[in-house]
Chain A
Amino acid sequence: MNDMNAVAAIASRDLVKFIRDPGRLVAALVFPAAMIFLLGGTLQLNLGKSAGFNFIAFTFTGFLGMTLFQSTAQGLTSLMDDRQNDFAQELFVSPISRYAIVFGKILGETAVAIAQVLPMVIFALILRVPLTANHIALLVPVALLSCFVGGAFGLLLLNTMSDNRAANQIFNFVFLPQYFLAGLISPINALPWYLAILSLISPMRYVIDLARGVVFNGSPDYRLVLETPATNIAVLFLMFAVFMIAGTTLFVRRETNR
């Protein structure tokens, strides 16, 4: 019970910090507007007709999955910020398990990521992305799973970093290629074999593809979906388990053996 309360306290702290940060709130509004409205709009007008699918819906699902996954993963690095700002000392000397700290951070960053994509969904509705109430309801568990995988992935990456500078470099190196390998703004149904292999090991691919599987289900654009939702869910659960076990083990060991 203590750990449950601690997880709730750690998670709510992240959400409060997000709500009180005007810069992050503005970014959460401006980013989806810029990406879906500008990027999706220009692609739709110039390429949409010849490509034969809804580019705005494609871009929306791409950025939705990417934001959920990447925001949670990057949020986990705040454990590094905390250590440098010394708030983590308070967490690490408290009589709660290290697992509660990790779960609390993942839950908190999940809440932050979901709060960040809410404006994105509203923009998508304004731009007439064919989203029904059923789609939105199904996207809730998809969002949770995507965030959990992102959080576990971020936890694993956290163990490779020594400071914030290293974190930024590693994040650029790890996430930028995934934008292209996961089909963020363009379909990846056809890839050269070496990129296909890299794509298959990119977690973001399964997150984005799952979101597309839900939104495009029953529409002609479903042909752009790479795997069935069941396959994507199975892969994401497997990745979550592997990242979580490896990440938590390394994290706890690193913290106690400093």
Chain B
Amino acid sequence: MTTPAIEVRDLVKRYRKGTANAVDGVSFDVEPGQFFALLGPNGAGKTTTIAILTTTLSPTSGTVRICGHDVVREASLVRRQAGIIFQNASLDMNLTGEENVRIHAILYNLYPYRPIYRLMPGAYRQQLRELADVVGLGADVFKPVKRLSGGMRRKLEIIRGLMHHPRVLFLDEPTSGLDTASRRNLWQYIRELRRRHDITICLTTHQLDEAEEADRVCILDHGHVVALGTPQHVKSQLAHDRLYIDALDRAALRSRLVEMQVPFSEDGVFVVELDGRTAHEVVRAIDEPLTVLRTESPTLEDAYLRILAAGDE
């Protein structure tokens, strides 16, 4: 049996001045090489969970292991296995991109300290150039961070996060503050990195479309796990395919749908919840000539919103 890349058991975190648990009995596993997405609204406990997983926060109770190492007792070993792209940029704006990467490489004991780039070992310079090319940063890595755009800074953080060949890469809302084009580019690079390096990715995001590609998703709300599984599983449990239809004789169509006892609503057109039926079964039972006919599969966002709405009720 392989050791999970991430193993969380009954995790609880209550902040010192908190009146409720920020994370309340969370458990999940992530297998090596999986793309895992941690979702939830603001205050759901995502960032707290990530902070515990990355050893910057201590849990109140429960156990967390990264690649088999306990985050409390073996924090240093955990830190060697993990790469982190923080929600807020964690770059030193007074330095160049390369200087930021160099400090990281030295902190992770990859290379000895040298005061300037040219004195760094050839292996470092080669690794930096390769990673800069992979993420499309190229020679811009030598520019002062202040002069880099938001998207370029994110790429720089990815280079830095990958320098020590982490087995698990934590991405805490990596695209927040990025425009659409930068977001798309960044995900292209992350896909490419996954393909090349076969690393486990743990993502937290508000952008539900980013989690559609995940192998598994975990939705948190008020510190609890409210859904866990593949995106398909979560979607199928909570939302159904829909059929959008309309006809010239709308009254007849309405009567027919009532007769068929299928759940539907009217939103300009008739929206039929398929709920286990096929679109073909429904359409075959309708005699009225249709003017609109299309099907729609639910997105993760649909399922997510339903889960949160159910939680609020």
Co-complex (A, B):
yes
Interface residues of A (CB under 8 A from B): 1-2, 4-6, 8-10, 12-13, 16-17, 20-21, 85-87, 89-97, 256-258
- B56 close to A92 (CB less than 8 A): yes
What are 25 A-B contacts with C-beta separation under 8 Å? A1-B109, A5-B106, A9-B113, A12-B113, A12-B115, A13-B95, A16-B99, A89-B56, A89-B84, A89-B86, A89-B90, A90-B91, A90-B103, A90-B160, A92-B55, A92-B56, A93-B82, A93-B84, A94-B107, A95-B76, A95-B108, A97-B76, A258-B15, A258-B56, A258-B57
B100 to chain A: closest CB distance in Å?
8
Residues of B within 8 A of A12 (CB): 113, 115
B284 within 8 A of A: no
A14 to chain B: closest CB distance in Å?
10
- A6 close to B106 (CB less than 8 A): yes
Residues of B within 8 A of A257 (CB): 16, 58
B80 within 8 A of A: yes
Question: Which residues of chain B from 80 to 109 have a CB within 8 Å of any chain A CB?
Answer: 80, 82, 84, 86, 88-95, 99, 102-104, 106-109
Q: A91 vs B55: C-alpha distance in the bound complex, in angstroms?
A: 12
- B104 close to A94 (CB less than 8 A): yes
Partner of A16, one of B15, B76, B95: B95
DSSP class of B's interface residues: helix, strand, loop or mixed?
Answer: loop
Question: Which residues of chain B from 223 to 260 have a CB within 8 Å of any chain A CB?
Answer: none
> A95 with B79: in contact, given A5-B109, A5-B113, A16-B99 (CB under 8 Å)?
yes
- B94 close to A20 (CB less than 8 A): yes
Q: A80 vs B58: C-alpha distance in the bound complex, in angstroms?
A: 19
| CB closest chain-B residue, reference A82 | B92
Which 4 A-B pairs rank lowest in CB-CB distance, beginning with the nearest?
Answer: A94-B107, A2-B109, A95-B79, A8-B113
Q: A72 vs B288: C-alpha distance in the bound complex, in angstroms?
A: 84
Partner of B107, one of A20, A86, A96: A96
B32 to chain A: closest CB distance in Å?
20
| CB closest chain-A residue, reference B56 | A92
Is the interface on chain B under 10, 10 to 19, 20 to 34, or 35 or more residues? Answer: 20 to 34
Residues of A within 8 A of B115 (CB): 12
| CB closest chain-A residue, reference B102 | A9
B49 within 8 A of A: no
DSSP class of A's interface residues: helix, strand, loop or mixed?
Answer: helix
> A94 with B113: in contact, given A13-B103, A16-B99, A20-B94 (CB under 8 Å)?
no
Residues of A within 8 A of B58 (CB): 256-258
B199 to chain A: closest CB distance in Å?
16
Residues of A within 8 A of B160 (CB): 90
Interface residues of B (CB under 8 A from A): 15-16, 54-58, 76-77, 79-80, 82, 84, 86, 88-95, 99, 102-104, 106-109, 112-113, 115, 160
Residues of B within 8 A of A89 (CB): 56, 84, 86, 88, 90
Residues of B within 8 A of A90 (CB): 86, 90-91, 103-104, 107, 160
- B79 close to A87 (CB less than 8 A): no
Q: A8 vs B94: C-alpha distance in the bound complex, in angstroms?
A: 17
B60 to chain A: closest CB distance in Å?
10
A99 to chain B: closest CB distance in Å?
12
| CB closest chain-B residue, reference A18 | B94
Residues of B within 8 A of A85 (CB): 93
Q: A57 vs B106: C-alpha distance in the bound complex, in angstroms?
A: 43
| CB closest chain-A residue, reference B79 | A95
- B80 close to A95 (CB less than 8 A): yes
- A87 close to B90 (CB less than 8 A): yes
Residues of A within 8 A of B15 (CB): 258
Q: A203 vs B243: C-alpha distance in the bound complex, in angstroms?
A: 78
- A93 close to B112 (CB less than 8 A): no
- B109 close to A93 (CB less than 8 A): no
> A87 with B92: in contact, given A93-B55, A93-B79 (CB under 8 Å)?
yes
Residues of A within 8 A of B107 (CB): 6, 9, 90-91, 94-96
| CB closest chain-A residue, reference B84 | A93
- A16 close to B94 (CB less than 8 A): yes
Q: A1 vs B111: C-alpha distance in the bound complex, in angstroms?
A: 11
Given contacts A12-B113, A257-B16, A257-B58, 17 further A-B contacts (CB under 8 A): A5-B109, A6-B106, A9-B103, A9-B106, A9-B107, A10-B103, A13-B92, A16-B95, A85-B93, A86-B86, A89-B56, A89-B90, A91-B107, A92-B55, A92-B56, A93-B79, A93-B84
Most buried by B among A4, A17, A89: A89
Most buried by A among B90, B95, B104: B90
Residues of A within 8 A of B88 (CB): 86, 89
Residues of B within 8 A of A21 (CB): 94
B50 to chain A: closest CB distance in Å?
11
Residues of B within 8 A of A13 (CB): 92, 95, 99, 103
Residues of A within 8 A of B16 (CB): 257-258
Residues of A within 8 A of B94 (CB): 16-17, 20-21
Residues of B within 8 A of A5 (CB): 106, 109, 112-113
| CB closest chain-A residue, reference B57 | A258
